Structure 1
Amino acid sequence: MTKASSMAGPSRTAGRINRRSKSAGPEPYDFRRPTNLSREHIRTLQIAYETFARQFTTILTTSLRAVSQVTLISIEQFTYDEYISSLSSPTIVAKLSMEPLPGTAIAEFSLAIAMTSIDHMLGGSGGPQPERPLTEIEAPLLNGLMDRMLGELRYAFEGIASTRPQLTGIEYNPQFVQAGGASDPVIVASFEMRVGAEECVMTICLPFGMIFPKLQGDRNDVQLSPAQRAAREAAHRNLVAGMESVPLDVAVRFQQMRMRPEDLINLRPGDVVTLNHPTTQPLAVTTAGLTFAHAVPGTQGSRLACLVVAPAKEEDRR
């Protein structure tokens, strides 16, 4: 899986954007951590983030009086540690609350873009910017721009959840941001962000547990046409019918017993191994290690068989 990372310099940032936009080959898949977002979820987020990108483009252009552009690149799932490790330092890492949703979201973009935006707000023409923390005069200017950005984020997400995004703090080193556990899954949206001649990849990181329940609810509340409902019901019937015909390995088992290694090694044909299974207790019928029925042994014609019976009562097992 390709990670997102933010670069401060224009040339390095441009190279990164090109790599992300042109990557169309196969990607590694970790079966230990399957992706839980369906295509419907991705599409729902894509619509919201594309709306946000258009609105934020307008905010930047009118506020900075400079040609600006914000374009959605991708929506991907990472762990929190993978996301934080992919970010450069220093950078702008804005911590966001999304009340009433739980958790902390993150909006991240390059320090160079932040300084260029502030320069335009102060009447400058952009150009090379110093790489340093914001001053007491510059910080409120960026906070004001961020507040307007969060207003557009709230508007874009109205179709998914009613939220009140608020800026709760800004860090310059991603490692100092504690917004989740290292293995917590997060959903990261990457945007190509341009302000004048400066460009970078901006990211918005949402905890998986924050947004996934809302995506599920949104999907369940979708109004379907009669044709869509009939197609979904037919697909469900076909799935159930297909699952009912899948062959499974079934075993009829006695209770487990313990033996010492030396006893196992010394076993010879004709030896008798005493089982702990009571004669009054039926055998367990299992599949994939799960017991789903009980049975007593028998025969049917020339074959061994078992008769499914009710499980033994607790007093019969004693």
Structure 2
Amino acid sequence: MIPTSLRPALFVLALLALGPVQFVYALTLPEALNRVEARSSVVSARTERRDAQANLERALRDPLAVRADTLQAEQRLSLAEASLERARYAALSELTNAYTGVLQVNEQAALAERGLALSERSLEIATIRLENGSATQLDLGDAQASLDEAQNTLRAAREARDLALNNLASILGEEVEAADLEGIPGTFFAELPPLEAALESAERHPDLLSVEQQAELAALSADVLDPLYAPQTQIDTAESQLASARSAFEETRRGFLLQVRNLYSQAENARETLRLEAASLANARARLQTQRQRLEGGLISQIEFEQAVVATAQARLEAEGARVGYLSALLELQAGSLVPLGGPFAASLGGER
């Protein structure tokens, strides 16, 4: 018999014999989004913003700086700030899509496992029915084909899960397991902001701002020319360039705002899909409850109830896909228009402004 005083030491030795202990912790979406500031695109944009700020301060202190020098320095800072905001929103979208991608394929794998179990059960039933003369060889072949298909589906789902996990791990810089990821908090499913707010925010998007700044520079170039010291041909050329720059800006603006409207429409469609899939899931759950009662009452077989369970799992997967689709559409709208969603997304952007 082992003395009581030696038992703790032997327990530790037993643990050591099992190899190094790996601590596994659950990863939440808010924790994943805390990596936003570490993304290379955000780091680069933050560096450019600091450089642009320093450049503007130098220009303002320079007694020899002319209006064009100051304007270009101010424009560089404005563009750097807008680019940093876009980089952060794009990183939020990238991280969220990678995280929810794992959740989705994990659900798909779980559904595929249920489907495989059901197919195995169906093959077993078909075999029994063939033996007692209530089924044909064709019925058995159909059951076997369904089983083969279920096995292929499960294999594909597991491969997709591995790819999604590798993608998330490469973004986070650490290995994760699908089972360690927690679900998406309801607070992340924000209300769709008004279209007017998205269009207004889009006016400061760097893709549009850069073209507007070219028109501002062209206006300054024309404004500083005077017939007293500039030839008329130079003035005419500057005014022509200004007209071209303004025309280019208006054309770019129309096209860009159309893109924002399309993003908004996609978010509206995703919201409607979410509503419909949520209703379908509620109906599936109600049917499952009915089938459970019928099973308990001896009105249906176990295999029929198992089919209802799989159908409900399929409805849950589709509803989860709709939730992820709506969330992705919201984040794409935010990155494409710079309209802030606020809430938990704003809390993830706690870095240097």
- Structures share fold, TM-score greater than 0.5: no
- Higher share in strand: 1
Give the structure-2-normalised TM-score.
0.24
Larger relative contact order, structure 1 or 2 (CA cutoff 8 Å, min sep 6): 2
